[in-house]
Amino acid sequence: MKTILLAGGLGTRLAEETAIVPKPMVEIGGRPILWHIMNIYAAQGFSEFIVALGYKGEVVKDYFLNFHTRSADLTVHLGRDEKKVHASAQPDWVVHLVDTGNDTQTGGRLRRLASWLGDDGTFMMTYGDGVADVDLKRLLAFHRSHGRLATVTAVRPPARFGGLSLEGDRVASFDEKPQTGEGWINGGFFVLERTVLDLIPTDQTFWELEPLETLASRGELMAFRHEGFWQPMDTLREKRYLEELWSSGRAPWKIWP
């Protein structure tokens, strides 16, 4: 099963970092947060990724093109212009890096990736700037059990994120960035059926507006409640918090060896 990672936004609230690199490449513990997110998926058996690139996408491409040399020991013979990359343990991931446009919105990025999904009917999707200790196999099992088109992982606030009004496990309505919330918000970590892409008409469609609102109004959006750790990296303060957790050895999202 493929996992789409939205990694093309500007990250304006992290301007101190994103003037140089795109937000998903901002580092926690010396590794891009995108690497952390991919490890969350790969540790649970989901290791094929489609990364939707936009702003400074070349930085992401360069990172993966040079992944082995960055993470392995090297021997360089300067006089002969030769190098040897010494064997080291490397993740067995398949990573598709796809330019989805600098100005494309979140829904539009999904829409542009339709052909990359191949014949897969079900896929996963999340944002390139948040980590969690979500049980992805339970999430997938929940999605398959209800038979609807979409599942969103519902997490506890901060209140500035899209609010979910729940009736049992069904999402009754979706309100992006409400002034007051009812305690559950859009935490990403979606499981989706391919037909949801039909609800995205243009590059300028925000996934969090018309598509999710339509799915909710049709009874096709279900919520997987996650009571555990979830943390976005929208601000420098949040980046520092994640750094503190990682450096202290208390990072709840680190579920891999």
CA pair distance 238, 150, nearest whole angstrom: 29
Average pLDDT of 106-111? 97
In sequence order, what are the beta bridge partners of 40? none
pTM: 0.88
Domains and CATH numbers, the chain: 2-247 (3.90.550.10)
pLDDT by residue (tens digit) across 5-17?
999 987 766 776 7
Which three-class secondary structure string do you get for 81-128?
CEEEECCCCCCCCEEEEEECCCCCCHHHHHHHCHHHHCCCCEEEEEEC
pLDDT band at 182 (very low <50, low <70, confident <90, very high): low
Number of residues written out for the chain? 257
